[in-house]
Amino acid sequence: MKTEHRTRCVMDTTDPEIKFDENVTSKDYLNKSFKCPICRGHSETTINTYKHYWISCNDCGNVFRQRKTKYFIPRILPNFISNRIPTRIKRHFFPMKEVIEDESKFYDYYSDASSRGNAKGTKWEGQLNGIKERLGRCGVDLRGKKILDISGGPGFVVKELEGVAKRAVVTEFSQISVDGMKKNLGVEAVKFDYNKDKLHEVIKDKFDIVLINYSINFCLDLKAFVSSLRKVVHDGSVVMVSFVPPTLGCCLRWQHDEYTYNILYHPETVARVFAEGGFDLSCRDSDGSYYYMANRRFNFFLFTIPYRIVARRRHMNINRELIQKNMVYIFKVNEKSK
Ligand SMILES: [Zn+2]
């Protein structure tokens, strides 16, 4: 029987001996014991979805994504039929090679999005007001502050902060999007990849407020990132982090996307790693939740059924709710931290 190639957990925050291994097969995987890169626990549950495996650590509750190397539909469909499927449908069921080779391609579309000039009528409309409201409830005002928006494409928030903030800088994963935001919006934009760059090396200033809007789930080494983040803030700075915690619904929702969250962080892990890095949790909030198939087509729903049935029948420690949850933590830099 042919063995499916899988990659194992990819990041290490504590043990330099745990390395990214691209060539571990499922046979190896069964033979070798799992070692969680966050808590070093050895017990896991694997959730199978269309394009990804999600490895849930039974000890700390963090969930790690591993993209499969082969997908079901291309394996069973003859080429002459595959070739007739329109690209817009094909990308959900077949490998998107350009994204697999360069994941930042998945975010090139922010360049086009920024060419609209403003957020009106887009899914980003009202985003800044939401941020102002949430920070306001915690006694934080954006006026006259130096603000860094990490992975803030397509840059509308930073654009709207002109005239409000003292300085506003946006980072993005895709160089094409960075160039597009600069050209189309005239904003200060910097390329930053959580897993290749060190924040303090690409950003030289110190900021009063840092916004991290649902991008922390792409960061493979949270501890190293928080340590670098500490170097671009000062005593009393505020960091607002929104993130997606583990739920079965989230694993299933993104099963047709080639690139999606790398790690569904357990809230306790987010709070602990930031605390260890010198950030005190001052407010926690919910950014709402939605049904896992909200705004998804019916055929997507059908494709989740077999995976959902198998997953829900298994014993697992992951939250089995069929929803995506969105959480927000607001941290203040601990003045005693270095
Ligand atoms: Zn763990």
Please give the average pLDDT of every successive group of 10 residues along the chain, which has 338 residues: 41 40 44 80 90 93 92 85 81 82 77 85 90 94 97 94 95 93 96 96 96 96 97 97 96 91 96 97 91 85 88 81 95 82
Residue 253 in contact with residue 264, Cβ under 8 Å? no
**Residues near 134 by beta carbon (within 8 Å), at least 6 away in sequence:** 240, 285, 328, 330
The helix/strand/coil state of 14 is: coil
Res 32: pLDDT: 59
Ligand 1 centre and the CA of 62: distance in Å? 6
**Residue 5 DSSP code:** E
E strand or H helix that includes residue 149: strand 146-150
- Best CA proximity match to 162, nearest among 135, 128, 115, 212: 128
Ligand 1 centre and the CA of 36: distance in Å? 5
- Best CA proximity match to 156, nearest among 241, 194, 213: 213
Res 8: pLDDT: 44
E strand or H helix that includes residue 245: none
Ligand 1 centre and the CA of 136: distance in Å? 35
β strands within the chain, DSSP E: 5-6, 24-25, 44-48, 52-57, 63-67, 146-150, 167-172, 188-191, 207-213, 233-243, 263-264, 279-291, 323-333
E strand or H helix that includes residue 260: none
The pTM of the full predicted model, rounded to 2 decimals, is 0.86
Ligand 1 centre and the CA of 39: distance in Å? 4
Ligand 1 centre and the CA of 221: distance in Å? 13
Per CATH, the number for 103-202 is: 3.40.50.150
Ligand 1 centre and the CA of 312: distance in Å? 21
Q: Residue 238 is encoded by which pair of tokens?
A: 């505020």
Ligand 1 centre and the CA of 171: distance in Å? 30
Ligand 1 centre and the CA of 22: distance in Å? 20
Ligand 1 centre and the CA of 58: distance in Å? 7
Res 185: pLDDT: 95
Ligand 1 centre and the CA of 41: distance in Å? 5
Res 4: pLDDT: 41
